[in-house]
Amino acid sequence: MTPEAADKLAAFFATFADGAKALLLLDYDGTLAPFRVDRFTARPWAGVREQLGGIQRQGRTRMVVVTGRPAKEIAPMLALDTPLEVWGLHGAERLYPDGRRELEQAPDATQEKLDALRQHLKRDSLGGLFEDKANGVVMHWRGRSPRAAKLIEQRTRALFEPLAQMEGLALLEFESGLELRVGRNKGGAAKALLAEMDTASPAAYLGDDLTDEMAFEAMKGRGLSVLMRRQPRETAADIWLRPPTELNGFLEQWVEAGSRE
Ligand SMILES: [Mg+2]
């Protein structure tokens, strides 16, 4: 960690002093857990689950996972004693701790086109890994050779880009994949969550992917944004931390700041 990053962290945690409620927004894959080609085996890094449990027990932080996955996948992966709120599908879906669920919908004409593409990709996944989502379709090429990845990307763009022009549909680029989708992105999710908090409450967002950049932008002037990633990259985030050591360090500081009166 650079001295500059350490200063920014210290300044951020100093804002906990007045006992206000805090907001902690967390991406899951790549941020709390290492990537796995089979995403159902992506467990949090050692120590993370315990730290998150500690933050929950303090009862001072509203903690929300904001993920590209369907929201219901997160609770079994995190295995916390108390369920937490999850915004799934990059923010298009909201799953409350009590089980209530909201999902953004597309206009009928758009939905029909999307369904046709879905059927097409089920028959032919273009050499990639097709993921069928409630609000869209995703093509992954993580783990493929550079040459194969390029070919899958070209085929995917040829199918997705014309449809992205339709009302209610948008492309979402992420590392090693492309999504065609309906609804809020992570920036919209972060904004909506911030709007539900007191303006003086400490707030932070931790993420690793290109899709998290929109949330980093949304945090500007309102909270701390952290690029949590092994390698640095051009980013809108305030600081860059490396998981798992610096992630655990951050969460530990959060627990410590939250225990102050
Ligand atoms: Mg991620």
Report all structural domains of the chain as residue ranges with CATH numbers, in order of start: 3-104+184-258 (3.40.50.1000), 108-181 (3.30.70)
Residue with tokens 């992966």: 77
Q: How many CB atoms lie within 10 A of CB 49?
A: 18
Candidate from 30-34, 84-88, 224-228, 257-261 with smallest mean pLDDT: 257-261
CA 74 vs CA 84, 135, 180: distances in Å: 9, 17, 22
- Ligand 1 geometric centre to CA of 32 (Å): 8
Q: Are 91 and 188 in contact (CB under 8 A)?
A: yes
Residue 115 makes CB contacts below 8 A (sequence gap 6+) with none
- Ligand 1 geometric centre to CA of 34 (Å): 9
Residue 245 makes CB contacts below 8 A (sequence gap 6+) with none
Residue 50 reports pLDDT greater than 90: yes
Residue 23 reports pLDDT greater than 90: yes
- Ligand 1 geometric centre to CA of 238 (Å): 17
Residue 207 reports pLDDT greater than 80: yes
- Ligand 1 geometric centre to CA of 27 (Å): 5
Q: Are 250 and 206 in contact (CB under 8 A)?
A: yes
Handedness of CA 45, 241, 16, 14 (dihedral sign): positive
What average pLDDT does this structure show over 180-200?
A: 94
Q: What is the pLDDT of residues 122-168, one digit of tens each?
A: 999 999 999 998 899 999 999 999 999 999 999 999 999 999 998 88
Buried b (16+ CB within 10 A) or exposed e, 193-203: bbeebeeebbb
> In the prediction, which pLDDT does 53 show?
97
Q: Are 99 and 68 in contact (CB under 8 A)?
A: no
Task: Please tell me the number of Cα atoms within 13 Å of 203 on its side-chain side.
Answer: 23
Q: Are 93 and 71 in contact (CB under 8 A)?
A: yes
- Ligand 1 geometric centre to CA of 250 (Å): 17
- Ligand 1 geometric centre to CA of 163 (Å): 25
Residue 98 reports pLDDT greater than 80: yes
What average pLDDT does this structure show over 82-108?
A: 94
CA 95 vs CA 48, 87, 108, 240: distances in Å: 22, 6, 24, 29
Does residue 209 or residue 260 have the better pLDDT? 209
- Ligand 1 geometric centre to CA of 26 (Å): 9
CA 225 vs CA 6, 63, 228, 239: distances in Å: 14, 15, 9, 7
Residue 239 reports pLDDT greater than 90: yes
- Ligand 1 geometric centre to CA of 208 (Å): 5
Residue 106 reports pLDDT greater than 90: no
> In the prediction, which pLDDT does 210 show?
92
Candidate from 80-84, 159-163, 172-176, 257-261 with smallest mean pLDDT: 257-261
Residue 249 makes CB contacts below 8 A (sequence gap 6+) with 241
Q: Are 61 and 70 in contact (CB under 8 A)?
A: no
The average confidence (pLDDT) of the chain is 94
Residue 261 reports pLDDT greater than 80: no
Largest CA distance in the chain: 59
- Ligand 1 geometric centre to CA of 186 (Å): 11
> In the prediction, which pLDDT does 1 show?
85
